[in-house]
Each structure stands twice: as structure tokens, then as C-alpha cells.
Copies of this chain bind each other. A is one copy, B any other.
Amino acid sequence: MATHNGGDSNFESEQARLVGLAMQLIERRGTEVTRAILAADTQMARARIDRFFPEESDLFDAIVERWFQPLVAIMEDVLVSNLPPNRKMYEFIARRFVHQRDLYHANAASFALYCELGRSRMEEIRSYVDLADHYLAELIAQAQAEDYFPGLTIDQTLSLINQMVVGYTQPDVMMMIGERLSEQKLARIIDTLFAGLSAEDGGAAGVSGLRIA
């Protein structure tokens, strides 16, 4: 007997097929897809759709999971690799950037639509953002074990790096300034981080923050 939480490979492969159909439908229609729309378009009984997605949010969650699956795979591959920390940091960000840029170039309108759907359901994608932060924190810890980013906590380093590479990781920002982004520039940014990011006060802020020049 099929169960909702997997364990039956026929159930899982049919569920995966429906997710694929729903995503094709999203890309074709240019709007979010509900179970009702999926049933109508595939001419499947609604009850059959509901067996695979008991709640409306189950369909959306499955789509989100499919979207992030290759990004999670990239992060995990890089994390367990034998590369030095600066190479890992670069691959960790560059591979996801290239993956997303390819999706954007393949279909800019549907890429924008997925971003919009994500923005409207921030809770659902939060766990993926948290996972990326978790992995990046692990990578930072590895780098600090080799004396990079001296004096900074992992959280401080994480926040600063996230801000400095936001164009390469956040799809919304990527769409905004995309034509100026490149792997070469990202490599230069990562090199800059590994050469210069530390707790040392270089004096940029002056002695009391914002001052009259």
C-alpha cells in the first residue's frame, strides 16, 4: 500500500513525475499552479492528485524541493571535497551561480516567476537558506582552522561574506545586476576575502563612525 512519506518507489516516482508536470505547467502558464489546475491540465482525477499531495502546500513544497535539490547537491559535493578552503569557497558559490544563470538564460520569464513564488512563501524556502548558511559556516570553520579570517567569529564572517557575494547567490539580485557578474569577478572577490577579511580595524570607519568630512 502506498504511503505519503515514501518508502514505496512507485509512489515516489509518480509523485516526482507530477512535480515535473506541475513545473512545466508553471513555466507554460506563467502563474502558480494549484492541485486543481494540475488535475485539469493532466486530465487526472483530483482524488488521485490529492493522494500524492494531501495539502495544497505539499505540492508547493515538492516544487521548492525540486528547485533546490541540485543546489543542495552542489553544496554537499563541494563541502566533502579535498580542495583547500579558498577553492572550496569559490566552487561553493560559483557552481550554484552558474546553475542559476543557466536556468535564467534558458527561460528568464519562468526564472523570475519562481523567484516571485519563492518571495511569496518565504517560510518554505527559509530552511534552504538556513542550510546554505549552515554549510557556509562549516566552510568558514575549515578556513579559520588554516588561519584565515583571524579574530572574527564564524557568524560575523558568514554575514560579511553573504553580503559581499549577494549578487552571486540571491536570484533576485542576480537578475538585477546579472550582466555584470562573472566567474572571474567572483574569483577576485573570494581572493580578496581570503587576503583581507579579518577583525583588524583598518580605519575605514574612523574613530567615531560617521563624521563630517
- A interface with B by C-beta (< 8 Å): 77-78, 80-84, 86-91, 94-95, 98, 156, 159-160, 162-164, 166-167, 170, 172-173, 176-177, 180-181, 183-198, 200-206, 209-211, 213
Contacts and interface: CB of A to CB of B under 8 A. Distances in A.
A115 to B, nearest CB: 11
Given A160-B192, A192-B192, A196-B194, A81 B203 contact: no
A10 B58 CA distance: 64
A28 B166 CA distance: 33
Contacts of A173: 166, 173, 176
Q: How many copies does the complex hold?
A: 2
A163 B180 contact: yes
Contacts of A190: 202, 204-205
11 contacts: A83-B213, A90-B206, A163-B167, A166-B167, A166-B173, A183-B205, A183-B210, A188-B197, A190-B204, A194-B196, A196-B196
B77 A213 contact: yes
Given A184-B205, A204-B187, A205-B183, A210 B176 contact: no
B191 A163 contact: no
A156 B146 CA distance: 29
A174 B132 CA distance: 21
Most buried by B among A80, A185, A191, A211: A191
Nearest to A82: B213
